[in-house]
Amino acid sequence: MDTMKNTHNLLTAVLLLFAGSFPLAAFAQGSLTPPGAPAPIMKSLDQIEARTIVNSANTPGDGNNVYIISQPGSYYLTGNLVAPLHLFGGTAKNGIEITANNVTLDLNGFALQGAAGNAGIFIPNGQTNITVRNGTISGWAVNGVSSGGYASVNQVFERLSVSACEMGIFLYGAGVVRDCNCYNNNSDGIYCGAGGICSGCTAKNNAGNGITMGGGIVTACTVQNNISRGIYLVPGTATGCLVEGNNQSGIYVDAPGSMVVGNTCIENNSSSASSEAGIYINDSNNRVEDNHVTESGLAGIQVSPDYTLNIVIKNAVIGNGANNYIIPSGQIAGPLITTLGTITNANPWANFSFNP
């Protein structure tokens, strides 16, 4: 009897609960049809890092290059690129060849380590709009960066450290080299064959020239202890640079129309070569002004006897005895102020000449 009673009570409760649910069903309900296909509401990893990784899948190489960038776009490294001899059976390869226009390559702080390789970055033709930045390039048998096209347009190399290559950065065409360091390369540190801008760079201990500029601006660079010249202008403007301890001339001008203004040159031409100096001018119609030149080998500021009409004004040269200035006839030079003490010479173009 009790069992029947309990069963009755349970059935009543269920019915009440079921009945109580009907008023809910009387309210409007949302459509069960989805409003549309599900769509992503968050970023994918590819959207966060949309650039293309340089690797064998995305940028496969060939017999001469570890990787080739053959399409426009933005690329980056995710690891060091090491090109040791044993990977290639002795074949010299470039690290990354760029054959497309409109390419930005971010080394992402990683290193291109050459060993027996060819060039770290190789740009073979007249490519347009190429930027390479932010990393290290070392030990390549040819150049760290090698851009071979004279007709190349809009090339930028910035925030690179390049060492132990043939040339550090070699541009046959025009380009901008900004905030790069080129150390211990076997030839020039930076070579801008067709001009451009080289600013904020350090070129040190290279076996050739520190910086070669073929028509452009070299500014605010530190150029030290290179085996040949510090800055080689053919032609260009050199301004605001520190040039120190280079084996030949600190600044060598080998074309007309250059301007060498406001540089500090210390102990250059350590080889004491006869056709070198702290600043050496080997053409006509150049202007050398406001430079401070001390303790150079052989001569402070020297102009080749083969040329004329160079202007040498307002410089200070110290520590080369009678050779502070070697200015042949046919040039235009301010008079020398050689006496210590209060300056009485009022000539505004005068050069200072002292020997401690």
Partner 1 sequence: MKIKFHIAASVSTVLTLHSALGQGALTPPGAPAPVMKSLDQIEARTIVNSANTPGDGTNLFIISQPGSYYLTANVVPFRFLGGTAKNGIEITANNVTLDLNGFAMQGAMGNSGIYIPYAQTNITVRNGTISGWAANGIDSASSSSWNQVFERLNISTCGDDGVTSYGTAAVRDCNCENNTEDGIDCFGGGIISGCMVNKNGFDGIQMGGGTISGCSVQLNGNIGILVVVGSTVSGCYVEWNTANGIFLDATGCAVIGNTCYANNIAINDSNNRVEGNHVTVNGYAGIQVYAGGLSNVIIKNSVSGNGAGNYVVPAGNDLGPVGTAATATSPWANISH
| Chain residues in the site for partner 1 (CB under 8 A) | 42-51, 72-75, 101-104, 106, 128-131, 153-156, 174-176, 178, 195-197, 199, 215-217, 219, 235-237, 239, 256-259, 261, 284-287, 289, 309, 311-313, 332-335, 346-349
DSSP 56: T
Minimum CB separation of residue 12 from partner 1 in Å reads: 41
Contact residues for 62 (Cβ-Cβ < 8 A; gap 6+): 68
Cβ proximity to partner 1, 77 vs 165, nearer residue: 77
DSSP 323: G
Residue 321 CA to residue 317 CA, distance in Å, equals 10
Minimum CB separation of residue 39 from partner 1 in Å reads: 9
Residue 308 CA to residue 329 CA, distance in Å, equals 8
Cβ proximity to partner 1, 73 vs 124, nearer residue: 73
- At 244, list the tokens: 């120190």
Q: How far is CA 253 from CA 257, 278, 280, 292, in A?
A: 9, 11, 6, 16
Minimum CB separation of residue 50 from partner 1 in Å reads: 3
Cβ proximity to partner 1, 121 vs 298, nearer residue: 121
Q: Does residue 164 contact residue 188 with C-beta atoms inside 8 Å?
A: no
Minimum CB separation of residue 72 from partner 1 in Å reads: 5
- Residues written for the chain: 356
Q: How far is CA 286 from CA 150, 215, 253, in A?
A: 26, 13, 8
Cβ proximity to partner 1, 101 vs 271, nearer residue: 101
Residue 223 CA to residue 244 CA, distance in Å, equals 6
Cβ proximity to partner 1, 83 vs 313, nearer residue: 313
CA atoms within a 13 Å half-sphere pointing along the CA-CB vector of 21: 5
Minimum CB separation of residue 96 from partner 1 in Å reads: 15
For residue 188, the tally of other CB atoms under 10 A from its CB is 26
Q: Does residue 201 contact residue 181 with C-beta atoms inside 8 Å?
A: yes
Cβ proximity to partner 1, 248 vs 315, nearer residue: 315
Minimum CB separation of residue 127 from partner 1 in Å reads: 11
Three-state DSSP state, 14 = helix
Cβ proximity to partner 1, 14 vs 332, nearer residue: 332
Minimum CB separation of residue 165 from partner 1 in Å reads: 24
